[in-house]
Structure 1
Amino acid sequence: MHHQIIGSKEGTATRSLLCLAALTVGAVFLAIGILGFIPGITTDYDSMKFAGHESDAKLFGLFNVSILHNIVHLLFGLAGLAMSRAARTAQLFLVGGGVIYLALWLYGLVVGRHDTANFVPFNTADDWLHFVLGLGMIALGVLLARRAFAGSTRREERQVP
């Protein structure tokens, strides 16, 4: 059985904004994952390792990347695209992804730059980008969902066979 939410045009438009936000964030992650594999856009490309702090490759000459780091961006981007199709999964992607990025920010602050635990790898620019991404994704997911689902109540739901 499917549930259809009956709401105002404003609620539908806001749900669409929530989905659009997840789609946009997913597309950006996908693009970043691709750009991380392009020499020139990624400086010191020839020094890129699969994982670990030994990778000196930097996306835009600023953010440390490795093959694993780029693959994670690609997968995160694909997840965002897939989850952007419905408001609830779009919200889950934005809020859940934001929590993951805040955890990565904390991890990056705690782990030493040359520590073997720095397997992604992270540098200071990555750390603060993770912080901004985490807060931004959570804010989008919470604020847009609040508006999107504000008019929804159990009475407005009906089952569609």
Structure 2
Amino acid sequence: MSYASSSQGLSARRTSAQVAALVFGIIFLVIGVLGFIPGITANYSALYFSGYDSEAVLLGVFQVSVLHNVVHLLLGFLGLWMARTHSSAKTYLIGAGVLYLLLFLYGLIIPLNGAWNFVPFNWADNWLHLGLGAVMIILGFVLGSDNTRRTSGSRGSPGEGQIPN
């Protein structure tokens, strides 16, 4: 059986890390787009480019700005692009997870109603960043060690389905 080259794009069979990177990429794209839709984003008329004074809140909970939404869109596109190979998907999951943990720490340190809160964050964002960071890093390590391609319903024998070098 021949495998499609994953270096040329998404192959027909993806590793679990690639699927996870795709899923997070799609989620971040959807979140980024929803942040620009009035009704889904409350106080949309107070959606500013950046800064804590942006009063727009996604789903009535998460404080957003144009910059915040653009960051989600960029992370989404990056996830789709890096899902092309197993190693880049693993790098995406761990790297974006570390980024979210750093954003969580940043959100704890800065005053949420001050100039340093330029993205902006609120407490709901901070807790979400902690959860996303932890989940993405764990998935990156757990799924990143599984370098096998699986077909649905097929478990195969040990060593079967290894990605060719």
Same fold (TM > 0.5):
yes
SS at match of 2:39: coil
Partner of 2:37: 38
Partner of 1:24: 23
Partner of 1:99: 98
CA distance in 1, matches of 2:71, 2:40: 18
Structure with higher helix content: 1
Cα displacement (A) at 1:157: 6.0
Deviations along 1:64-90, one digit per CA (max 9) or x if unpaired, are: 000000000000100000000100000
- Contact 2:16–2:146 (CA under 8 A) maintained in structure 1: no
Q: Which of structures 1 and 2 has the larger relative contact order (alpha carbons within 8 angstroms, sep 6+)? A: 1
1:86 aligned onto 2:88: no
Instruction: List 4+ stretches of structure 1 deviating above 4 A.
Output: none
SS at match of 1:147: coil
What residue identity is the alignment partner of 1:65?
Answer: V
Question: TM-score scaled to structure 1, two decimals?
Answer: 0.84
Cα displacement (A) at 1:31: 0.3
State the number of aligned residues. Answer: 144
User: Structure 2 matches for 1:66-85, cutoff 5 A?
Assistant: 66-85=65-84
Deviations along 1:105-125, one digit per CA (max 9) or x if unpaired, are: 000000101110000000000
CA distance in 2, matches of 1:146, 1:78: 24
SS at match of 1:119: coil
Partner of 2:51: 52
What residue identity is the alignment partner of 1:92?
Answer: T
What residue identity is the alignment partner of 2:42?
Answer: T
SS at match of 2:145: helix
Gapped runs of 5+ residues in structure 2? 7-12, 149-157
CA distance in 2, matches of 1:157, 1:29: 31
Question: TM-score scaled to structure 2, two decimals?
Answer: 0.82
RMSD (Å), alpha carbons: 2.1
CA distance in 1, matches of 2:28, 2:147: 24
